[in-house]
Amino acid sequence: MAELLKDLYSKEFIEKLTDKFLNVYPKFEKEKFINTIFDSSWANLELKARMRYIAITLDKFLPFSYKEQIDILKEVKKDFFGLEAMIFQDFVEIFGLDDFETSIKALEAFTIKSSSEFAIRQFILKYEDETMTQMKLWAKSQDEDIRRLSSEGCRPRLPWAIALPKFKKNPKKVFEIIELLKNDSSKYVQKSVANNLNDISKDNPSLVIEFLQKNLGISKDLDWICKHGSRTMLKNGNKEVLKLFGFDKVKNIEISNLYCEESVKIGDYLNFSFELISKEKLENVRVEYIIDYLKQNNKYSKKIFMISQINFSDKSKKFIKKHSFKDMTTRKHIKGIHSLSIVINGEKLIEKSFLVN
């Protein structure tokens, strides 16, 4: 069984954490802290709730001013990395909103080999101008973790985080950060910039298209950012964006030998295959498929999936695929008629129904 994310905060982690606090603050009440963490509610807490509970509990066991607490946390944080280390940023988010200077410096330190992307958003909401000015400075940092924070932290729709309504409505200040980072050499930073563009495209597609028109063809890395940042618009078949990336209207391409199983059981895989046939070479072809899922209200919900973006010297290409119908937390499958469609360069060319039982 796969390990649950919330189990990052295991007994071993808390033991290690308390030992580090003892090294920095010898009067830290280790056993009492551990007993407080693992109370009757702990087992039912998910990842972010556990993160928050640890941060709140730390405040109770560090009887100092906020600045003194941060000094201790900075020393302890040096031995913790990645997602599990976000308890330190969460502490700043809870207790540091009234001390901008101390908190911003702490988030800068804590983001290294971790990320302050969640915590910084509360500071954007409360101190928008000051925080975005700081993020422009971070965008010029020598450290890629700090540069990434300047982009990731201001994404209008960052997953798992509170949204930034003003930036969803008008992302002008976000684009100022993107302009500073669009030529960054770090793939880690590039991915964040692309994800930021993709967020913006969901509310302001025309602004992202304008960015594409100005920046495509300048460099390989920037082309990658543009394409990855346009993935939602490409999936949605935005004709202007498809054309910008050379996925013009389908010409001389046919789908042959479509095979799709007539039925699939919930929990199994739907097997299907098809062949692309062209009178010319298969160049710059975007191949996707759509599943129209039946919902409980007898309406349908469309979901599109990428298969390939291909450049082949051949005039035909066969695809053999399978699609999972295992229930997930985000989707419960309904018995009844569903459909599979094959999409080429944003155009649906063929569709076939099948039964889920």
Residues 84-120 have pLDDT tens digits of 999 999 999 999 999 999 999 999 999 999 999 999 9
Residues recorded for the chain: 357
Least confident of 63-67, 194-198, 281-285: 281-285
Query: Residue 329 — pLDDT band, cuts 50, 70, 90?
Result: confident
Count of C-beta atoms within a 10 Å radius of residue 10: 12
pLDDT of 341: 97
Q: How far is CA 92 from CA 50, 66, 69, 86, 97, in A?
A: 16, 9, 10, 10, 7
pTM (2 d.p.): 0.87
Q: What are phi and psi of 298, to 5 degrees?
A: 70, 10
Order of all β-strands in the sheet with 316-324? 253-260, 269-278, 316-324
Asked if residues 102 and 66 have their Cβ atoms less than 8 Å apart, the reply is yes
For the chain, give the percent of residues with pLDDT over 90.
87
Query: Residue 251 — pLDDT band, cuts 50, 70, 90?
Result: confident
Q: Number of C-alpha atoms within 13 angstroms, CB side, residue 40?
A: 0
Q: Calculate mean pLDDT across residues 218-228.
A: 97
Q: Which residue has the tokens 């076939």?
A: 352
Order of all β-strands in the sheet with 300-310? 263-264, 347-356, 336-344, 285-294, 300-310
- Amino acid in position 270: L
CA 294 remoteness from chain centre? 27
For the chain, give the percent of residues with pLDDT over 70.
99
With H, G, I as helix, E, B as strand and everything else as coil, classify residue 179: helix
CA 39 remoteness from chain centre? 32
Structure tokens at 22: 């003892």
- In order of start, what are the domains of the chain with their CATH numbers? 253-356 (2.60.40.10)
Asked if residues 118 and 93 have their Cβ atoms less than 8 Å apart, the reply is yes
Say if residue 311 is exposed, middle or buried (CB neighbours under 10 Å; 0-12, 13-18, 19+): exposed
Q: How far apart are CA 80 and CA 62, in angstroms?
A: 19
With H, G, I as helix, E, B as strand and everything else as coil, classify residue 186: coil
